[in-house]
A and B are shown apart, each in its own frame.
Chain A
C-alpha cells in the first residue's frame, strides 16, 4: 500500500477548498506562483524519496534495530503504538529544533519556511534533502526496540498530522492549544517577527515546547509575517532546495582555517551569539512576486495538473521500474518542475525552455510503446500529444508578446 497515493489527491482537493473559502471570505492567503512552487517542491520531495535518501533512512533504522535493540516490542499492543507515537514526536521535536538551530540541518529544512504565505500548500513545501541527516534523531527508537513497521507508521501519522495546521483560516482552538500543535501555534513557528524566531518546534504535541522553553503564543496585536529573514525570491524548486547550501559553502570557503570552515556548518544560522533576535521591520516588508501574467499562471496550473497525474503514476509504479527507467522518469519530472518554475519567473528564456520540454515529452509519450509500464490507448496518446503541442504553439505566440502585453 502506498499511503501517499491516497494522500496526494486529498491534499490537492483540500488546497482548492481552502483557496475557495479564503476567496469567499476576501482573504488574500494564496498567491498562485507561490502555491505552485510549494506543490512543485512537494513533488520533488516525493520523487527524491523514491531514490537513495528514504532508502538510507529505512535501511539505517532497520539495521540499527536489528543490531542494537533492547527488546522487540510487540506490535499487537496498543500501548506500543501510542508510546511509539509519543516517543517519535519527542525525537521529531529535537530533530526539528536542530533543523532550525544547526546550519547544515537548516540548509536541508529551510525550503519549508521560504513561502511568504501560510496555507495548506505550504505544508507540502518540503525539502528533498531532509532525510540526509534526520535518521540520526530516531536511532534511540530503534535501540528502544520500536519495530520498523510501527516506526514508519507513526512517522507517517506524525507527518500527516502536520498538514492541517498550515492554515490561516482556523483560529485558536481552546484547550487544544495547551497540548497539541494547532494552526495558531504553528503560525508562530513560520513567522519571521522577532518573537516567532526559533519557537514552537512541536510536530503533534506542543507540550515539548512548553517543557523545553521554546513555546510562544500567537499575539493578537500584530500580524505575523511569514517567511525567512533572507528571502528566497525565486520560483526555482531546485534552487529552493540548494540556496542555503550554496551560501554556507561560500561562507565556509571564506572562513580561515579548517576548524572555522567546519564550524560554519555546525553553527546556528545567526552564528554563535547571546544577543536577542533582531527586531523585524514588518512595515518595510513586501512579499516576493514576479507579477507573472495571468495567462501564464493559468498555463502553469494546467501543466501542473498533467505533472500531478504523472507523479501519481511514478509513485505507483516506482517499485516495478529499473533504476534507469526510474531515473529517466524522475529526470522528466525534474525538467518539468524546473521549466514551470522558470516560466513563473517570466522572461522569454523560460518560455523557450518550456516549449522544448512540451515538444520532447509530447513526442516521447506518443511514440514510446509504453510510458514506463503504462500502455496508453491511442486516444490518450493523441490527446496528450495535441495538448502538449498546442501548449508549445501557445507559448510560441506568447513569446512574440512582451510580458506587459498580457492581460492582467
Chain B
C-alpha cells in the first residue's frame, strides 16, 4: 500500500470511528464526518490504482467539501437546530447541498466554490470554538485552518507529500474534535449529575 492510500485509510478509519461514536449524540456532525470518511474510503481504492473508483472518489470528495464540512460547521455552530439534532434533517441537508454542490462545482464548473465552502466552514468552526472557549475545540479548528492554508499555499512538511499531509491533518482535526466532544459529554454528565 502506497503512502497516499495509507494516509487516506487513516482518515477514513478515524472519520468512520468518530462518526459512529457521535451518531447518537451529535447526528448532524456525525453525518458530515461520515461523508468525509466515505470519500476517504473511495480515495484508498483510488490511490491503490483501482481506476473505477477515480470518478466516484472525485464525486464523493465534492459532496464532502460542499455538504460534509458545512454540515459539521452548521451543526457545531447551532447545536440546537434540527439539522444538528436530527439525523433526518442532517441527511436531507447532505443530499440537497451535496447534489447542488456537485451541480455547481462539478457540472457547471464553478470550481472556487469547492474551496470557498470548506474555508467558510473552517472559519465558522474557529468562531464557534473561540466562543465556546474549549481548548480541544480551538485546537481542532486551528488544525483544520492550517490544513487548508497549507494546501492553498503549498506548505508541505516532510516526510509527507501534499495529499498525505491533507489526509493526516484532517485525521488529526477529527481526533481533536472527538476529544472535544467526549470532554463536553463528560462535563454535561457531571452537570446533570450535580443538578439531580
Contact = CB atoms under 8 A, between A and B. Distances in A.
A323 interface: no
A70 B59 CA distance: 10
14 contacts: A59-B107, A63-B107, A67-B106, A68-B56, A68-B59, A102-B92, A133-B99, A137-B95, A139-B99, A143-B59, A259-B78, A266-B83, A267-B89, A272-B82
A131 B63 CA distance: 21
Interface in B50-103: 52-53, 55-56, 58-59, 78, 81-83, 86, 88-89, 92-93, 95-96, 98-100, 102-103
B55 A143 contact: yes
A136 B99 contact: yes
Contacts of B95: 98, 136-137
Interface of B: 52-53, 55-56, 58-59, 78, 81-83, 86, 88-89, 92-93, 95-96, 98-100, 102-103, 106-107
B81 A263 contact: yes
Contacts of B107: 59-60, 63-64, 67
A98 B95 CA distance: 10
Given A60-B107, A64-B107, A259 B59 contact: no
A68 B82 contact: no
A64 B106 contact: yes
Contacts of B93: 266
Contacts of B106: 63-64, 67-68
B55 A266 contact: no
Contacts of A133: 96, 99
Nearest to B103: A60
Contacts of A137: 95, 99
Interface in A68-101: 68-71, 98, 101
| Chain A binding surface, main DSSP class | helix
Contacts of B103: 60
Interface residues of A, number: 23
Interface of A: 59-60, 63-64, 67-71, 98, 101-102, 133, 135-137, 139, 143, 259, 263, 266-267, 272
A70 B58 CA distance: 10
A139 B78 contact: no
Given A64-B107, A98-B92, 15 more contacts: A63-B107, A64-B59, A67-B107, A70-B55, A98-B95, A101-B88, A102-B92, A136-B95, A136-B100, A139-B59, A143-B55, A263-B81, A266-B83, A266-B92, A266-B96
B43 to A, nearest CB: 14
A90 to B, nearest CB: 14
Contacts of A68: 55-56, 58-59, 102, 106
Contacts of A102: 92, 96
A259 B75 CA distance: 12
Contact of B102 (A64, A70, A272): A64
Given A64-B106, A259-B78, A136 B96 contact: yes
B88 to A, nearest CB: 8
